[in-house]
Chain A
Amino acid sequence: MNAPNASGWKPAMVPAGEDGLHNGPATTTGNRALMLEEPLLFEIGHAETTGVDLPENSGESSSRLGGLDRSEPIGLVGLTEPETVRHYTRLSRQNYGIDLGLFPLGSCTMKHNPRLNEKVARMPGFADIHPLQPVATVRGALEVINELAFWLIDLTGMHGVAMSPKAGAHGELCGILCIRAALEARGDAREVILVPESAHGTNPATAAFAGYKVEDIPATPEGRVDLDALKKRLGPDVAGVMITNPNTCGLFERDMKAISDAVHEAGGFVYCDGANFNAIVGKVRPGDLGVDAMHINLHKTFSTPHGGGGPGSGPVVLSEALSPFGPLPYTARTKDGVVHLIEEEDAERFSQEHFDGRMQHFGRMTAFHGQMGMFTRALSYILSHGADGLKQVAEDAVLNANYVLRSLEDVLDAPFGKSGPCMHEALFSDRGFTGDLSTLDLAKGLIDEGYHPMTVYFPLVVHGAMLVEPTETESKAALDQFITAFRSVAERAKAGDESLKEAPYYAPRRRLDETQAARKPMLAWQGETAPAGKPTMTEQGGS
């Protein structure tokens, strides 16, 4: 366990030509041109190395640490600056990002991240201010929050917006808590949230976290919410419905207004998962469809970079009925043009003075004011596109997706291809693949062709689902190149090309053993710094 390579890993020597894939001789190290294997930080760093020049301990004994001075080593290692830059640069080269090419993850919306937005977010006036500075010293920051809030309300046709949620799922929670607070304010303790089966997995998890029971609503064979089934289930115990529109099958919920009307008539509220708002921004306002609350993933619709898994940002737009119940803190502009920050301190007074006491916040969801660094980026994006550009964004996103759908439906099954045009994403299935070749094999084959695969096995209502979302920032040439690659792999899957089962061949790693990772979780470096004789992390029962 204490060897530098605790996992027993050694560089692999690839024999020339053995698998018919390597044209040249093997390298001695197993590395390839421009690609060196990068060991773990803990295998190359040293406890005594540092890349930051700091004064050494002067030996002054002025310690006021309550006798709790750290005596044992932490177990960290350091690298100098050149080693650090090299370590992470090498790691970066094992990653696919939108800067490298088309990243067609359906429902994730990977579009170009404009660099102006990065520049703006780094202006010291935004990046180097503290959340608890006196409000008189952060008027510009509050204006940015309020300005973005205004455009989000305007673009969605809603009444208010809660800016503090930290990500889409956090926004869902915010919206459902607003619904709950509004119901409680009228003394109506309802227990159930209805969630269509095509919804994101976060939707039922969110409803459960807000203390609700969750019930599924089926989809029609066309891939939309079954309106009749929904209507039948509505009643005095239903607090609300969570719907994704455009939905996860890439389709617009035609009956949205009828759904909203039915839910409202039954005394409930409509939550819309706004993850796919990019398909309709500037074209349709969810407020006009009767939506009461909808989160907007700023990283999806408004292009803030997702950084390998986050951060996100999930402001929630609210209808007039729900607006009084949004969380603290919030910003509000008064008649004199000043933007105020409303925290616990003055929430009550402000509500009395400016809202006739109507504001009844449900509490605080996060320590500070939300994702300011994402707000500046999203506002830059909105202003850069303007009214004409945002409409074009939705139109190009939808055109690109339909182009992909129609260009591939002769070779791949498109389960809802007859249900109407798709919105911003095209859905395919694995029907017609030969033998035991699966969606996963096609995905891994695409990697070898130079692309990040589409979203796989989602939505769950389709067997072997493949959800392709090109977004508006792809050119026709880029789409054609991708379609060619996709078509070739799809044809191989249909022809039963077993070599796909071993793909990818050319990625930094071949297929990874996810079962082993779950059965014997190794979640931290267990090398030299671990106490001797400590057992490896093995859990009973597997996954």
Chain B
Amino acid sequence: MRYLPLTDTDRSEMLSVVGASSIDDLFVDVPKEARLDGPIRDLPMHASEMAVEKHMRARAAKNLVAGDVPFFLGAGAYRHHVPASVDHIIQRGEFLTAYTPYQPEIAQGTLQMLFEFQTQVAKLYGCEVANASMYDGSTACWEAISMASRVTKRNRAVLSGALHPHYSEVAKTMAKYLGLEIADAQPAIQAAPDNAGLTSRIDENTSCVVVQYPDILGRIADLTEIAEAAHAKGALLIVVNTEPVALGAIKSPGEMGADIVVGEGQSLGVGLQFGGPYLGLFAVRDKKHVRQMPGRLCGETVDAEGKRGFVLTLSTREQHIRREKATSNICTNSGLCALAFSVHMTLLGEVGLRRLAAENHRLACLTADRLAKVPGVTVLNDTFFNEFTIQVGQDAREIVRTLADKGVLAGVSLGRLYPDVERLSDALIVATTETTSEDDIEALGSALEEVLA
């Protein structure tokens, strides 16, 4: 048993120190009728490293790997190239196998990294303060709605119809138990988001307006007017971003008046991983809201010799101190994913992020132009970053399945995201990144031509 160092000799020596005649003596408090005697049902005996690897490899082989085919899926998770040094660094044992930095004197590596991460996220979002990360974008979005309710002491959140439907679902699930009202809508299939429709739903009881930027259909719109309309009614503007690379090309949400900015950080450093672990980002534009923020925060301080150092701070907001009065029940973050994000961001820097964003946008423009030439395809958006929506005139779910059989992963059908909304069933969200080649674009274009012919 390669992971268990005690020998039988050790065990008997230790039992005599403990004063027990057998290991069962140590389980004496477990009622006899609850004890499991004999082997665990069905579970085989221990297996070698080689055997386990083989078992897992057989399962991995049944999946179609994104990197092996022309690949155009987005809708909240994006396939970017991750520099090799990112994975090298996160596998250093001192990062990989550390715990929450409860003893800051011997956790400065994690803490300084988190401080740098918070700074990077705050700058990217145009905010003053970011936390040390959350589970993922969808849960961060709900936590922001919950926070807005605490700040404004109001209980009605107005959600844009173009917010990722899974994010809306998470908010609705959580809100129904806290007595919060979620006023949501479904996306209008049109070139530009319906800002007027959104602002008309804000009332005196509205705690926050939640918009996505770029939105679920890939559209980019100025948020300044929505911010003003929200603020005029005493509500906060929450901006959700699911593609941080976009912010290398477009104005930050903070610049346009967002009060809370949340998002998914998976694009940088983390990888697709079939949905998790991912990285929730959470920032507030104005530091006055910091004590209402959920999640961990790392702060700068000094040690007894006056040297600069870092600690987890403002923990009086947290569950281990405030128990049922805490700002959130969260007691972890996505530390290792935050490290991956931060390392990737460090490798990119200002110049690299902007070039990466420009390259993503260039390829998306090429793809949109190519698909617009396919008979039967309409490109919906005028504006987009690396993701846009096309309409194919028939059930897009079926098209996606057919193209998958042909070895092209074409995009995310709106039918998968909104199974009950008939009018959205012919739409397909197509995403490109720097990993998309011009050959991939051509493969998608010609496969669509074939299928739609």
In the complex, chain B residues whose CB is within 8 Å of the CB of A169: 319, 329-332
- Whether the pair A386, B139 counts as a contact (CB closer than 8 A) is no
Stretch at the interface among B87-95, B200-208, B229-237, B443-451: B87-95
User: Within residues 297 to 343 of chain B, which ones have a CB less than 8 A from any CB in chain A?
Assistant: 297-311, 313-316, 318-326, 328-337, 339, 343
Q: A40-B116, A214-B324, A313-B277 are in contact. Are A110 and B99 (CB under 8 A)?
A: yes
Q: A91-B113, A512-B105 are in contact. Are A78 and B348 (CB under 8 A)?
A: yes
- Whether the pair A92, B109 counts as a contact (CB closer than 8 A) is yes
Q: A201-B321, A366-B136 are in contact. Are A38 and B301 (CB under 8 A)?
A: no
- Whether the pair A373, B273 counts as a contact (CB closer than 8 A) is yes
In the complex, chain B residues whose CB is within 8 Å of the CB of A356: none
A543 to B122, CA, bound (A): 23
- Whether the pair B26, A421 counts as a contact (CB closer than 8 A) is yes
Q: A93-B109, A517-B301 are in contact. Are A9 and B306 (CB under 8 A)?
A: yes
- Whether the pair A94, B108 counts as a contact (CB closer than 8 A) is yes
Interchain CB contact (< 8 A) of B353 among A45, A60, A76, A134:
A76
Q: Is B365 an interface residue (CB 8 A)?
A: yes
- Whether the pair B276, A368 counts as a contact (CB closer than 8 A) is yes
Query: How many pairs of residues, A versus B, come closer than 8 Å at their CB atoms?
Result: 743
Interchain CB contact (< 8 A) of B277 among A172, A311, A387, A523:
A311
Stretch at the interface among A262-270, A277-285, A431-439: A277-285
A312 vs chain B, min Cβ distance (A): 5
A464 to B296, CA, bound (A): 24
Q: Is B188 an interface residue (CB 8 A)?
A: no
- Whether the pair A50, B349 counts as a contact (CB closer than 8 A) is yes
A393 to B178, CA, bound (A): 40
In the complex, chain B residues whose CB is within 8 Å of the CB of A114: 3
Contact with A along B266-282 (1 / 0, CB 8 A): 00000111111110000
- Whether the pair B19, A406 counts as a contact (CB closer than 8 A) is yes
User: Within residues 46 to 62 of chain A, which ones have a CB less than 8 A from any CB in chain B?
Assistant: 46-52, 54-58, 60, 62
Q: Is A490 an interface residue (CB 8 A)?
A: no
A476 to B383, CA, bound (A): 64
- Whether the pair B135, A70 counts as a contact (CB closer than 8 A) is no
- Whether the pair B91, A118 counts as a contact (CB closer than 8 A) is yes
| Complex: chain A residue closest to B45, CB-CB | A386
Q: Is A26 an interface residue (CB 8 A)?
A: no
Stretch at the interface among B32-40, B151-159, B370-378: B32-40
- Whether the pair A103, B99 counts as a contact (CB closer than 8 A) is yes
In the complex, chain A residues whose CB is within 8 Å of the CB of B76: 132, 367-368
User: Within residues 241 to 276 of chain B, which ones have a CB less than 8 A from any CB in chain A?
Assistant: 247-252, 255, 264, 271-276
A236 to B164, CA, bound (A): 40
In the complex, chain A residues whose CB is within 8 Å of the CB of B1: 385, 388-389, 392
Interface size for A (C-beta < 8 A) is: 218
Q: Is A261 an interface residue (CB 8 A)?
A: no
In the complex, chain A residues whose CB is within 8 Å of the CB of B440: none
A407 to B11, CA, bound (A): 15
Interface-centre pick from B15, B167, B300, B416 (highest chain A CB count, 10 A): B300
Interface-centre pick from A124, A289, A472 (highest chain B CB count, 10 A): A124
In the complex, chain B residues whose CB is within 8 Å of the CB of A210: 177
- Whether the pair A125, B59 counts as a contact (CB closer than 8 A) is yes
Q: A93-B109, A389-B1 are in contact. Are A537 and B287 (CB under 8 A)?
A: yes
In the complex, chain B residues whose CB is within 8 Å of the CB of A282: 36, 40
Q: A284-B35, A368-B275, A539-B290 are in contact. Are A306 and B100 (CB under 8 A)?
A: yes
Interchain CB contact (< 8 A) of B300 among A48, A70, A522:
A522
Interface-centre pick from B4, B56, B138 (highest chain A CB count, 10 A): B56
User: Within residues 91 to 149 of chain A, which ones have a CB less than 8 A from any CB in chain B?
Assistant: 91-100, 103, 105, 108, 110, 112-114, 116, 118-120, 122-134, 136-141, 143-144, 147
Interface-centre pick from B51, B221, B273, B337 (highest chain A CB count, 10 A): B273
| Complex: chain A residue closest to B173, CB-CB | A363
| Complex: chain A residue closest to B297, CB-CB | A523
| Complex: chain B residue closest to A90, CB-CB | B109
- Whether the pair B95, A97 counts as a contact (CB closer than 8 A) is yes
- Whether the pair A49, B75 counts as a contact (CB closer than 8 A) is no
Interface-centre pick from B106, B315, B333, B368 (highest chain A CB count, 10 A): B106
- Whether the pair B109, A95 counts as a contact (CB closer than 8 A) is yes
Interface-centre pick from B90, B139, B329, B343 (highest chain A CB count, 10 A): B329
Q: A49-B349, A132-B75, A516-B302 are in contact. Are A307 and B98 (CB under 8 A)?
A: yes
User: Within residues 390 to 420 of chain B, which ones have a CB less than 8 A from any CB in chain A?
Assistant: 400-401, 404, 409, 412, 415-417, 419-420
A250 vs chain B, min Cβ distance (A): 11
Interface size class of B (residues with CB under 8 A): 35 or more
Contact with A along B78-105 (1 / 0, CB 8 A): 0100010101111111111111111111
- Whether the pair B302, A513 counts as a contact (CB closer than 8 A) is yes
- Whether the pair B355, A50 counts as a contact (CB closer than 8 A) is yes
Interchain CB contact (< 8 A) of B105 among A41, A288, A407, A447:
A447
Q: Is A155 an interface residue (CB 8 A)?
A: yes
Q: Is B359 an interface residue (CB 8 A)?
A: yes
A87 to B342, CA, bound (A): 12
Contact with B along A507-530 (1 / 0, CB 8 A): 111111110111001111100010
- Whether the pair A211, B178 counts as a contact (CB closer than 8 A) is yes
In the complex, chain A residues whose CB is within 8 Å of the CB of B329: 169, 172-173, 202, 205-206, 208-209
Q: A345-B419, A366-B135 are in contact. Are A402 and B20 (CB under 8 A)?
A: yes
- Whether the pair A141, B353 counts as a contact (CB closer than 8 A) is no
Interchain CB contact (< 8 A) of B247 among A74, A99, A390:
A74
Q: A76-B120, A95-B107 are in contact. Are A370 and B331 (CB under 8 A)?
A: no
| Complex: chain B residue closest to A58, CB-CB | B362
- Whether the pair A128, B93 counts as a contact (CB closer than 8 A) is no
Q: Is A232 an interface residue (CB 8 A)?
A: no
- Whether the pair A403, B14 counts as a contact (CB closer than 8 A) is yes
Interchain CB contact (< 8 A) of A7 among B35, B179, B302, B358:
B302
Q: Is B227 an interface residue (CB 8 A)?
A: no
| Complex: chain A residue closest to B69, CB-CB | A137
A204 to B91, CA, bound (A): 35
| Complex: chain B residue closest to A63, CB-CB | B361
- Whether the pair A88, B332 counts as a contact (CB closer than 8 A) is no
Q: Is A430 an interface residue (CB 8 A)?
A: no
Q: A50-B351, A399-B6 are in contact. Are A309 and B132 (CB under 8 A)?
A: yes
- Whether the pair A386, B47 counts as a contact (CB closer than 8 A) is yes
User: Within residues 436 to 471 of chain A, which ones have a CB less than 8 A from any CB in chain B?
Assistant: 443-444, 447, 452-453, 455-456, 458
A65 to B423, CA, bound (A): 27
- Whether the pair A508, B108 counts as a contact (CB closer than 8 A) is yes
- Whether the pair A370, B79 counts as a contact (CB closer than 8 A) is no
In the complex, chain A residues whose CB is within 8 Å of the CB of B348: 50-52, 76, 78
Give 13 CB contacts A-B under 8 Å.
A77-B350, A92-B92, A140-B58, A141-B62, A155-B43, A169-B329, A173-B329, A311-B332, A368-B136, A382-B43, A384-B3, A385-B46, A400-B14
New contact pairs (19) apart from A55-B355, A96-B103, A143-B62, CB-CB < 8 Å: A9-B306, A10-B306, A51-B83, A63-B361, A68-B220, A78-B349, A116-B49, A126-B60, A127-B273, A128-B67, A173-B329, A201-B322, A305-B96, A307-B90, A308-B109, A368-B276, A369-B274, A383-B52, A509-B104
